[in-house]
Amino acid sequence: MRTHVSCLLTFVFLVLGSFTTLVFPDDMLHPVEILVITTSDWTDVRFIGGSLVVQSYEILEGSEAPGLQVVAGSTVSIGKSSYDQTRIAVRITAYLADLAETWIRISINKGHIGATTISFHAEDDEAFASFTHTGIVQNDSSGNIRIFYLRTSEITSRVAVQIVEAPSETSVGGRKVLAFYYPWYGTPDGPSGRWVHWNPNQSNYASTHIPASGYYDSLDPDAVRRHIREAKAADIDGFIASWWGIDSFEDRAFEVLLHVAEEEDFLVVPYYEDAKSLSQIVADIGFIVSRYSGSPAFLEVEDRPVIFFYVRVMAKFSLTQWASAFASLNERGRIVFAIADSLQSEYLSVFQGLHTYNPVGMSLEITAEQYASASLAARLQDALFAATVLPGYQEAVFRMSSPVADRANGETYHTYWNIARASKPHWVLITSFNEWHEGSEIESSVEFGTTYLTLTAEEAGVWRSDETAPTNDGSGDRDSDGVPDEIDYCPDWPGSEITNGC
């Protein structure tokens, strides 16, 4: 196991409430050294009331412990074999950011054996604060959690401040709103001449909702033009179009989309979905760049064509393999601005940006933590972070493993926009313009009309005007539905605990 790994960890206090008009401030970072020591078989540590950006961590003791795993994502997690009491010591080099509150709350959750201590160290390595969780917390239904408090002045009085600027129009990539777009639909009476990717005659092969314009063909320039004009009216700058390989249906549709986008002064970028080998990645990306990137509609950043990479293909190859693929492309003069479907900062060693396609599988609290984490990591490395929002999610074909997010009359969409704005992203991504199979579309529908296009224009306008994210009104549960505002999908819409407030 490697004992020194670059990583990022941000913990952010999320509160959802009404807007106040305020230009987003820059982030103030304070360098700090943190030591976590545990003899328990597992430990999770979280910070609430500020953001922690981890530069690196080092395992000082216990690297030989059976089953040892150390993860620094939105929590610091240390795990090993059950009932193992090997002493583990992990030293973290980090920044504390955005300390707007008087106290930082430190949550330590651990197994029933052993103890966990977290200590903060000054430059001379002397610990100026230390907290220990030992034993078991009685009647704790959420685990075995103890909360400790650290006064923020203990940090700010000891270290110098480093300023990290909030993104602006002059930042890498500017400020854009992009929507994921699916050019994979065909109809018998359209250019495709057959049903492709949907068929309303088959109950399990249609869509969650019904397009207001009827089922359409992605090879039809008129349908594509209608989509682009709807998107532009909703303050969307471009589409991230699903792409599935050379000469695929989606590749043919991408060419149609790019041509219409040129006429409509709109932007297009491919979403690279899948590959079987590194050589295929090199061939595919080389093809995309040589065939399409010369178009004025093809989105570029720093004179490099932008390509998004979906988690499906991301997961098939290691970071070392991705670095090898991009090196091969660079040697051929096919240099791209690559944006990974990941919120982990380690990917910035190879990719130029971070995003995630679908955050519904995470709680709102974790989504906010990870967005803030990725945003700070990207800005520290002069890279790009794109925060994803969505109106809802429900697949047309039900699967037990599929997440569900009720639209709640627009409140779900509003909540995700609030989280995105609070993270200070370079770009905002919308999942999706027309993924009808997953019920995440904002395109006009029989069920919702133009509601979500209108909401998109409103929310994007708030973001572009630099209004701040919501502030806490102190109620904690404004709609009195038993779900705390900070984890309520619909904080202003009375619901129930079972439906997460919706």
Contact assessment for residue 224 and residue 434, using Cβ atoms and an 8 Å cutoff: no
Pairing label, strands 176-181, 427-430: parallel
pLDDT tens digit sequence for 196-250:
999 998 877 789 999 999 999 999 999 999 999 999 999 999 999 999 999 999 9
User: Residue 464: CA atoms inside 13 Å, Cβ hemisphere, count?
Assistant: 14
Within 8 A by CB and 6+ apart from 449, the residues are 212
Within 8 A by CB and 6+ apart from 48, the residues are 11, 13, 104, 105, 106, 107
Within 8 A by CB and 6+ apart from 247, the residues are none
Find the helix or strand (DSSP H, E) in which 46 lies: strand 42-48
E-only strand ranges, 382-449: 384-389, 427-430
Q: How many CB atoms sit inside 10 A of residue 204's CB?
A: 8
Calculate the dihedral angle through the C-alpha atoms of 11, 382, 177, 359, rounding to the nearest 10 degrees.
-30
Indicate the residue among 133, 164, 195 that finishes a domain.
164
State yes or no: cis peptide before 480, omega within 30 of 0: no
Check residues 358 and 96 and name the one with the higher pLDDT: 358
Kindly state whether residues 424 and 493 are assigned to the same domain: no
In a domain, 388, yes or no: yes
Kindly state whether residues 308 and 427 are assigned to the same domain: yes
Per-residue confidence (pLDDT) for residue 502, from 0 to 100: 55
- Tokens 């790019």 belong to 258
pLDDT, mean over the chain: 87
Residue 429 has pLDDT above 50, yes or no: yes
Average pLDDT in the 418-427 region? 96
Contact assessment for residue 387 and residue 176, using Cβ atoms and an 8 Å cutoff: no
Pairing label, strands 76-79, 88-97: unpaired
Tell me how long the chain is: 502
Kindly state whether residues 208 and 119 are assigned to the same domain: no
pLDDT tens digit sequence for 164-207:
888 988 899 999 999 999 999 999 999 999 999 999 988 777 89
Contact assessment for residue 217 and residue 185, using Cβ atoms and an 8 Å cutoff: yes
Residue 187 tokens read as 């109809």
Contact assessment for residue 224 and residue 443, using Cβ atoms and an 8 Å cutoff: no
The total number of structural domains in the chain stands at 3
Vertex 172: Cα angle to 327 and 227 (nearest 5): 95
Average pLDDT in the 265-285 region? 98
Per-residue confidence (pLDDT) for residue 184, from 0 to 100: 97
Kindly state whether residues 202 and 155 are assigned to the same domain: no
CA 369 and chain centroid, separation: 10
Least confident of 141-155, 281-295, 372-386, 394-408: 394-408
Burial letters 323-342, b for 16+ CB under 10 A, else e: ebbbebbeeeebebbbbbbb
Contact assessment for residue 407 and residue 416, using Cβ atoms and an 8 Å cutoff: no
Calpha distance 331→335 (Å, rounded): 8
Residue 133 has pLDDT above 60, yes or no: yes
Average pLDDT in the 359-388 region? 91
Confidence of residue 255 (pLDDT cuts 50, 70, 90): very high
Per-residue confidence (pLDDT) for residue 487, from 0 to 100: 59
Per-residue confidence (pLDDT) for residue 474, from 0 to 100: 42
Per-residue confidence (pLDDT) for residue 466, from 0 to 100: 77
pLDDT tens digit sequence for 445-489:
999 999 999 999 999 999 999 754 444 344 456 555 666 665 565
Per-residue confidence (pLDDT) for residue 93, from 0 to 100: 85
Per-residue confidence (pLDDT) for residue 2, from 0 to 100: 29
Residue 24 has pLDDT above 70, yes or no: no
In a domain, 470, yes or no: no
In a domain, 171, yes or no: no
Within 8 A by CB and 6+ apart from 2, the residues are none
In a domain, 383, yes or no: yes
Residue 482 tokens read as 């038993």
In a domain, 169, yes or no: no
- Read off the CATH number of the domain in which 331 is found: 3.20.20.80
Kindly state whether residues 274 and 141 are assigned to the same domain: no
Return the percentage of the chain with pLDDT > 90, whole number: 66
Per-residue confidence (pLDDT) for residue 14, from 0 to 100: 32
- Tokens 């990479």 belong to 309
Q: Is the model's pTM score more than 0.85?
A: no
Kindly state whether residues 346 and 212 are assigned to the same domain: yes
Calpha distance 490→480 (Å, rounded): 11
Per-residue confidence (pLDDT) for residue 237, from 0 to 100: 98
Least confident of 36-40, 49-53, 112-116, 320-324: 49-53
Kindly state whether residues 43 and 181 are assigned to the same domain: no
What region does 119 belong to: left with phi over 0, alpha with psi -120 to 50, or beta? beta
Average pLDDT in the 395-422 region? 88
First to last CA, the chain: 44
Is 423 buried (19+), middle (13-18) or exposed (0-12) by CB count in 10 A? Answer: buried
Return the percentage of the chain with pLDDT > 70, whole number: 86
In a domain, 170, yes or no: no
Kindly state whether residues 109 and 208 are assigned to the same domain: no
Calpha distance 281→106 (Å, rounded): 44
Per-residue confidence (pLDDT) for residue 492, from 0 to 100: 54
Confidence of residue 499 (pLDDT cuts 50, 70, 90): low
Residue 438 has pLDDT above 80, yes or no: yes
Confidence of residue 12 (pLDDT cuts 50, 70, 90): very low
Residue 139 tokens read as 């009647």
Least confident of 29-38, 97-106, 426-435: 97-106
Closest CA to 329 of 296, 305, 308: 305
CA 33 and chain centroid, separation: 27
Per-residue confidence (pLDDT) for residue 31, from 0 to 100: 86
In a domain, 298, yes or no: yes
Within 8 A by CB and 6+ apart from 149, the residues are 103, 104, 105, 106
Indicate the residue among 164, 186, 215 that finishes a domain.
164
Average pLDDT in the 114-137 region? 91
Is 205 buried (19+), middle (13-18) or exposed (0-12) by CB count in 10 A? Answer: middle
Kindly state whether residues 159 and 182 are assigned to the same domain: no
Closest CA to 491 of 364, 381, 371, 382: 364
What range defines the domain where residue 29 resides? 4-164
Kindly state whether residues 82 and 204 are assigned to the same domain: no
Residue 435 tokens read as 């993924």
Per-residue confidence (pLDDT) for residue 50, from 0 to 100: 78
Which SS3 state, helix, strand or coil, does residue 374 take? helix
Calpha distance 337→353 (Å, rounded): 8
In a domain, 150, yes or no: yes
Contact assessment for residue 401 and residue 444, using Cβ atoms and an 8 Å cutoff: no
pLDDT tens digit sequence for 277-327:
999 999 999 999 999 999 999 999 999 999 999 999 999 999 999 999 999
**Can you give the C-alpha Rg of the chain in angstroms?**
24
Kindly state whether residues 154 and 209 are assigned to the same domain: no
Indicate the residue among 132, 164, 196 that finishes a domain.
164
Kindly state whether residues 130 and 279 are assigned to the same domain: no
